[in-house]
Structures are given as structure tokens and as C-alpha cells.
Structure 1
Amino acid sequence: MRTVTYIVVVFLFTGLTFSCQQREKAATIPPTSATPMSQTPITTTGTIEKFDNALDQIIKPGAKIEILAKGFTWSEGPLWLPQENKLIFCDIPPNTIYQWTEKSGLEVYLKPSGYTGTIPRGGEVGSNGLILDKEGRLVLCQHGDRRMARLDAPLDAPVPKFFTIADRYEGKKLNSPNDAVYKSNGDLYFTDPPYGLEKNMDDPAKELPYQGVYRVTPDGTVHLLTKELSRPNGLAFSPDEKTLYIANSDPKRAIWMAYDVQPDGSIANGRVFFDATAMLQKEPGNPDGLKVAQNGVLFATGPGGVLIFSPEGKHLGTIKTGQSTANCAFNPDQSVLYITAHMYLMRVKIK
């Protein structure tokens, strides 16, 4: 099908693009020279690329990609807090969570967020994926502390005090939990690639010989779901919770997988939902975070920005940010998609 591109307003960026490939090459990430700040006035960037007319029912033609804030080292883990009416997200290397509101702009929300140790260490020490549990409490994927943790403080008065949900499997320390999602029955699913280790795969502190995907039951039992993915990353359920999608951020096998969720919470019948390996030759960014809308449409960060898929795996279009793009999140009524892309926080209004 002929490709139609909606040209928005192109904003020229400076700075290096950070990708999952570069994560494997460097143990320490240098900070940006910029100080994180709100983008005032809000500027626009990029393009929205359409491959199927069905995209018009998801994003209004002419929609703009807005830059809300900039100056981060590697922004990740966006999450809307409904009760607080604000967005929070991570800047991983500086070990910080920021908050953003329309009224007040950008402010520090929590620091430290992912590493609470007293001995300085390199690598991606901060928190990554952020989610809320059934009680509305903040749950964090903590790279530096190598655990799934819950904030032991109110959302409106955050302090760096945490309760460990899971930090080991069969007595061995986890690598660095990356992203997570809750099932409606209270089971916590999370991925565990090596990106938070100081030397990634070659780190002598790595205790598990694989990169797992896990399920934690409400009683705290940790179950290994699969160890077959080389770099499991973002994950999300279909609206009926019968399918679990998992991104694999390996440039040699840049794919999204789909699994059938079994009655006991395990997964089976894994198949490739979409293969983006060839796209990496032309576009920056590996499969990373993803979210599934109420109608089953997938918004998955990957080569070029945020790829939009039908539930059947058809690539409908891409929100092209011009950056290696880490993750995305909806506001409560799913009328806005917030995007973390390298040193930027962005948003796109959707239908």
C-alpha cells in the first residue's frame, strides 16, 4: 500500500541517540549537558506516518507531536496518576522520577528512585517501568536495587522508602527488572533483561544465566514464565487478558511476541506478533515499552518512534519522534498518549 505521511512541524534535535544497542556497549552513561526543563512554549516535532486508513480512526489527521519537557539522559516509564492528575516518569541514569502537570510543568517527584545503596556504582541505576497496583500504590522496576518494589509512602507525599515485592528467583538475584504489568487477579508480570547491570551480560554480579519473564502471585511466589527471549522488555495484556505481548529489544531479533495466557497464569503458544529487525537499518530504536488501548490497538515503541498495530498484527502507522523511543502511557480516558523519547517527554492527542 502506498505510504501517506502527515507532515507536522519538524524540530531539529541535537545530541546523541541512545539505543538498546548502545546500552550493551557502555557500562556508564554520561549525563546530558542540559538541565531538564519544561518546554515553554510547547513546540512540535516529527511526523505521523500512515500505512493504513484505519489509522484515521486512532489518530486524527494533522495531529501534532508536542514536546513537553527536555534535557533528560534517558527518559522512561511514563505513568499517569489519576488521583494526583499528573504524569510521572523516570530519568534512569540520574536515579530520578519527575512529575509533569499542565499547570506547574516539570518538577522532581522522587530521588533516589531505583538505587538506594550507599556505594557508588555505574550503569543505569534508576527505576524503569512504573505501574499502579490494585490498591493504587506505586510499583517500580528498580534497576540499581535489582528488584520489583512498592513505594512505601503516599503518592502525594513520596519519599524513597520501598517494600520489596521480588528480588530473587530460586535464590538467585534478579538481573534488573525493566517493565511490568498487573493482571486483574493481582498477579504481577515483569521482564528482567540485563540493562541495569553495570556491565550488562558480562557483569560478574549477574547470577541468572538467562533473561527471564516472571509472574509474582499475591502471596509473593515468583514463577518463571519464559527464558527464551534474549532481551525481554515491555509487556502488556490484551483487553480480555487472554494474550500477553512482550517486546524483545535485541537488535539481532527485534520482535514482539504474543502468548496465550493460561488459566493458571502461565503462558503458552508463543508466536512472533511483528518482526521489526529489518527496520533497524533505517530507523533508530529497538522494541521497548508498549501499551494496549481498550479497543485492542497496540502502541509499541520501536524503530522510528511509536508503532501502532491492529490486534491482528497489522502495522497501521508510526508516530515518528526522530529519537530512540523508550515507552508510552495513556491518560485516563485514552485521549492522550504520553511518550518518553531519549531526552524528551512528548505527547500526541489520539481518538
Structure 2
Amino acid sequence: MKKHLLLPLFSLASVLAAEPAPDFQGGIERLDPAIDQLLAPDAKIEVLASGFNWSEGPVWKDGQILFSDVPENTVFGWKEGDKNAFISLRPSGSLDGTGQGSNGLALDAQGNLILTQQGERRIARLEKDGSFTTLADQYNGKRFNSPNDLVIARSGQIFFTDPPYGMKKGVEQDAPYHGIYRVDTDGKVSLIIDDIRWPNGIALSPDEKILYLAISDKEAARVMAYDLQADGSVQNGRVIFNAQALKSAERKGSCDGMKVDTQGNIWTTGPGGVLILSPQGKHMGTILTGQNTGNCAWGGPEKDTMYITADMFLLRVKTRIQGY
């Protein structure tokens, strides 16, 4: 693991984002009665902050929601009672400011912030002194493309996707594939899937026996599931939901970030907002945001509030289920 230079960690009081825009249009689409067990009939979408370039990768940490603004190379934060979001970390993913910032965020067992840093082409841990430690930046001598999203298993293993979305213009891929990787606690990196184009979001089932992928292929947006083996490899890849048919001028976006609740339901961003799928892939409903929607995560003291990063917006919806 490599340690890198100290970074300017901005004051949590620093404010950049504007107050919520008044013209947000959204709602909840109910396609199956089972959704009432997940979202109350009177559930509403709240706009918490707006004015971002492209919001992504939310995670709940220390009583606040943190999330990336990828093009702005910034991690923002928001907590109850705030009128605006504040700058928590900048730069977040490109140390020299010439590349993309962080995308997916997660917490390890010690509560440390783990980031996919697109500009630095690595997975990194934020240290208490504001420096970054590289957890992984290559496989078999080949640099990653631009790590996009990640999930951390109870074992401490990190699974992440590596499409080239965040690569600098003119920089060529070192590897000919868009890999899905596993980083073991000893730092060993394994390529577990190499035949998917445009992998994006990633999640684990509550029993950690299934690995889910959101695929943002323009021609084949979908959610896939793989059986996770004891050694961390995967088998039996299959499509459990085809989202391509949902795309329309009114329903922007593709399959991107995703999370799983304690009952195993999959909450994945997709055309229109956040799609709510059963463990078998049945589409039960959608949190309609009217925006290209990047990611989502549970937070709050009871972990029963869904926070959503949707283009320029930070949103939330109270749920009847807790996040895994």
C-alpha cells in the first residue's frame, strides 16, 4: 500500500452548492402492491441541495451524507438542519486537478472513507491527516482505467468496477477490457470478470452469496447477478433485469449505481430514476427523479432513508426498509 502526499482538506463549513431548486419534478411509480412494504403510500421525494455538476456515490458517515461531484473533483456533505451542502474534501480524485474526481464512496470496517479515484486511476483510503493511501491501482502491471463504483464485503474484500468513463482524453487503456476486480485484505488484486462492457454499479446480496452489477451499455442497459464463491471468484452470470426497454425521452439515464436492502431487494438507478427490483429481478416500482440519476445509498440514524444523487440534485426518500 502506497502513501501519498497530504491533501488540502477543506473546512466542513465551506459551502459551494446552491439552495434547492424550486422546479424539481418527481414522484413514485408503483407497479406492484409489494412496494407498499418498502415505501409508504404517502412517501415523498425531498430536495436537500442542488447546483452540482454531476453528483454521485453517496455514503452515510458520522451523521451526515457524503457524496461526490465527479467533474468538480469534490466530495460534498450534507447534514440535517443545513440549508446547503458543504465541501468536505477537495481534491477528491485527481491530485493535480487535471482529471476526474472521486466517484463511488464506501466505508471500511473502521469507518474510513474508501474512494474510487477516477483521475488517479485507483482505489484509495482517506487517512485522518488528509492524505490518501493507495489500496490498488493496477493488475498484472496494467493500470486501471478509472475505477467507478465499489462495495466492501464483511470480510474486508473490496469489489469494484473499472470502465473507462473517467479517463483523461488522449490516454489509452492499458488493458483491453472493462474489468470487475476484487482487492483482498492483503492487497492482492484479482480480475474476476473481463467480458462485460460498461460495468458501473456494484452490490452484494445480504448473505453475500450474490454479486450484482449494473451495466450502463447504451445498447443493453441491464442488471446482472453472479454467484459469489468462497474464494471470491464468481460463476453463473445471468441477466435478471433488462432496463433497455424503459429508456425514453421522458425517462433519462441508464443503469448506474445500486444498493440492496435487508430483504435482498435491489435499488438501482436506471431510466427514470431509482428502479426497485425484487431479488429475482421483478420491477416493483420507480422513484422518478426526472433526471439522469447516478447513485443511491441508505443513511440516517436508523438506516431507513434513501439518499439519491440525481445529476444536479441531492434527494432523499423515507423508506420502510433498511439498507444492507
Fold conserved between structures, TM > 0.5: yes
1:86-141 deviations in Å (ceiling 9; x for gaps): 11101111101111011234111000000013xx535xx11000000111111000
For 1:252 and 1:330, locate their aligned partners in 2 and report how far apart those are by CA, in whole Å: 30
TM-score (norm 2): 0.90
Letter in 1 for 2:17: P
Q: Distance in 2 between matches of 1:232 and 1:305?
A: 18
Q: What secondary structure does 1:250 align onto?
A: coil
2:257 alignment partner in structure 1: 289
Q: 1:204 Cα shift?
A: 3.4
* 1:16-165 superposed matches below 5 A: 36-39=17-20, 45-81=25-61, 84-104=62-82, 105-117=84-96, 121=98, 125-153=100-128, 159=130, 161-165=131-135
- State whether residues 149 and 164 of structure 1, in contact with CA within 8 Å, keep that contact through their aligned partners in structure 2: yes
The answer (yes or no) to whether the contact 2:119–2:168 under 8 Å persists in 1 is no
Q: Using the TM superposition, give the Cα deviation of residue 312 of structure 1 relative to its aligned residue in structure 2, in angstroms.
A: 1.3
278-287 or 185-194, which moves further after superposition?
278-287
Query: Deviations along 1:250-291, whole A, 9 cap, x unmatched?
Result: 111101100000010101100001011121235210100000
Aligned-partner SS, 1:178: coil
Match of 1:171 in 2: 141
Contact 2:223/2:241, CA 8 A, preserved across alignment: yes
How far 1:62 sits from its partner (Å)?
A: 2.2
How far did residue 175 of structure 1 move? 0.2
SS at match of 1:56: helix
Q: Distance in 2 between matches of 1:231 and 1:323?
A: 20
Displacement of 1:44 after TM fit? Answer: 6.3
Q: Is the 8 A contact 1:64 1:349 kept in 2?
A: yes
Structure 2 counterpart of 1:14: none
Distance (Å, rounded) in 1 between the aligned partners of 2:76 and 2:248: 33
Q: Check if 1:316 corresponds to 2:284.
A: yes
User: Structure 2: how far apart are the matches of 1:178 and 1:350?
Assistant: 26
**Which of 224, 233, 241 matches 1:274?**
241
Residue aligning to 1:345: 314
Q: Is the 8 A contact 1:337 1:347 kept in 2?
A: yes
Q: Give me the whole-angstrom Cα distance separating, in 2, the residues matched to 1:337 and 1:311.
A: 18
Q: CA deviation at 1:63?
A: 1.3
With over 3 angstroms needed to count, the CA separation of the structure-2 counterparts of 1:204 and 1:109, relative to structure 1, is closer
Looking at structure 1, the residues matched to 273 and 38 of structure 2 have their Cα atoms a distance apart, in angstroms, of 16
CA distance in 2, matches of 1:205, 1:112: 23
Residue identity in the other structure for 2:95: T
* 1:43 and 1:67 in contact (8 A); partners too: no
Q: Tell me the distance in 2 between the aligned counterparts of 1:175 and 1:220.
A: 18
Q: Say whether the 8 Å CA contact 1:138–1:150 is kept in structure 2.
A: yes
**Inter-partner Cα distance in structure 2 for 1:43 and 1:276:** 27
Where structure 2 has 5 or more consecutive residues not aligned to the other structure, the ranges are 1-15
Give the aligned residue type for 1:114: G
Contact 2:117 2:124 in 1 (8 A): yes
Secondary structure class of the residue paired with 1:278: helix
CA contact (8 A) 1:293 1:334 kept: no
Report the Cα distance in structure 1 between the residues aligned to 2:316 and 2:25, rounded to whole angstroms.
10
Give how far 1:64 is off: 1.0
Determine the structure 2 residue equivalent to 1:16: none
Aligned to 2:13: none
Letter in 1 for 2:191: L
Worse-matched range after superposition: 206-215 or 97-106? 97-106
Tell me which residue corresponds to 1:225: 192
Partner of 1:27: none
Residue by residue over 1:282-330, the C-alpha shift from the partner in whole angstroms, topping out at 9 and shown as x without a partner, is: 5210100000001111110010000001111100000000000000010
Structure 2 Cα separation of the partners of residues 162 and 215 of structure 1: 20
Q: Secondary structure at the match of 2:53?
A: coil
Residue 206 in structure 1 maps to residue 164 in structure 2: no
The whole-number CA distance in structure 2 between the counterparts of 1:253 and 1:148 is 27
CA contact (8 A) 1:44 1:65 kept: no
Distance in 2 (CA, whole Å) between partners of 1:260 and 1:80 is 28
Ranges in structure 1 where 5+ consecutive residues have no aligned partner? 1-34
Does the Cα contact within 8 Å between 1:39 and 1:68 map onto a contact in 2? yes
Q: Is the 8 A contact 1:255 1:276 kept in 2?
A: yes
Following superposition, the deviation at residue 43 of structure 1 comes to 8.2
